[in-house]
């Protein structure tokens, strides 16, 4: 006949192990559930929609540009639309996934870097097609040089204040002031309006991003000032896509 104390000890150990197994399963389920949930739903969904829209719009712009003799138009438009896809893709990925601290930090850096890529990509057709010549090439090298500098800053200092990031983005976006007279001469009033309108919308979005207006953040936990900033970015992209498709590609 087995010893009662040993039997009790075995039963207790078995119960404890069963409890640990149950807890481990519960933890695994919790992790799995967290892994497949969106980290920032509002931000992830808005820029995922932006990425899908850019992918759908890409072939129409590229095919139209390919019908123009020479390579400048098609190369410029490919750079423009790829910069847009990269920005929205990087943003949607960063705001969707909640992985390790190191991976999240890398995704955040890429997300911020792609803003400089989008700005430079949007300038590319303007520099090479609208402005052209030596001045157009100068502007092209200038904006891409600023973009590379911004990318390096984000690689080394991702925790910089939001106001500093906004100053970089907005300042780079308005480098076109150097070509203000030339743009007025070369663009129709409607084309200039789409270009300027997109720039203004981007700027307003950047200001909202920098200020983090509390009024917006208090309305809904998943849709605050950052998500509104995302909508302004999308609206600015739409304006510049119309500008490229309807006017620049025909020049």
Q: Say how far apart CA 174 and CA 119 lie, in whole Å.
A: 10
Burial environment of residue 175 by CB neighbours within 10 A (0 to 12, 13 to 18, 19 or more): middle
On whether 230 is known to bind a ligand per the annotation, the reply is yes
For residues 115 and 90, is the Cβ–Cβ distance under 8 A? no
Among residues 134, 130, 133, 211, the alpha carbon closest in space to that of 170 is found at 211
On whether 95 is known to bind a ligand per the annotation, the reply is yes
On whether 47 is known to bind a ligand per the annotation, the reply is no
Numbered residues of the known binding site for Zn(2+): 95, 226, 230
Numbered residues of the known binding site: 95, 226, 230
């Amino acid at each position: 006949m087995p010893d009662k104390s040993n039997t009790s000890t075995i039963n207790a150990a078995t119960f404890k192990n069963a409890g640990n197994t149950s807890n481990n399963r519960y933890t695994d389920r919790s992790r799995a559930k967290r892994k497949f949930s969106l980290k920032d739903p509002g931000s992830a969904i808005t820029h995922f929609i932006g990425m899908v829209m850019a992918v759908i719009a890409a072939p129409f712009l590229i095919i139209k540009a390919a019908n123009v003799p020479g390579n400048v138009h098609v190369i410029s438009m490919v750079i423009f639309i790829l910069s847009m896809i990269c920005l929205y893709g990087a943003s949607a990925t960063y705001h969707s996934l909640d992985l390790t601290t190191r991976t999240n930090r890398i995704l955040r850096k890429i997300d911020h870097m792609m803003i400089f890529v989008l700005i430079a990509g949007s300038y590319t057709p303007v520099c090479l097609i609208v402005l052209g010549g030596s001045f157009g090439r100068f502007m092209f090298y200038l904006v891409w040089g600023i973009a590379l500098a911004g990318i390096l800053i984000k690689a080394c200092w991702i925790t910089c204040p939001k106001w500093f990031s906004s100053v970089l983005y907005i300042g780079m976006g308005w480098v076109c002031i150097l070509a203000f007279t030339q743009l007025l001469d070369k663009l129709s009033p409607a084309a200039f309006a789409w270009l300027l309108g997109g720039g203004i919308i981007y700027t307003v979005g950047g200001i909202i991003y920098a200020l983090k207006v509390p009024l917006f953040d208090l309305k809904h936990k998943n849709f605050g000032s950052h998500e509104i900033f995302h909508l302004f970015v999308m609206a600015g992209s739409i304006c510049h896509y119309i500008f490229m498709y309807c006017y620049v590609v025909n020049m």
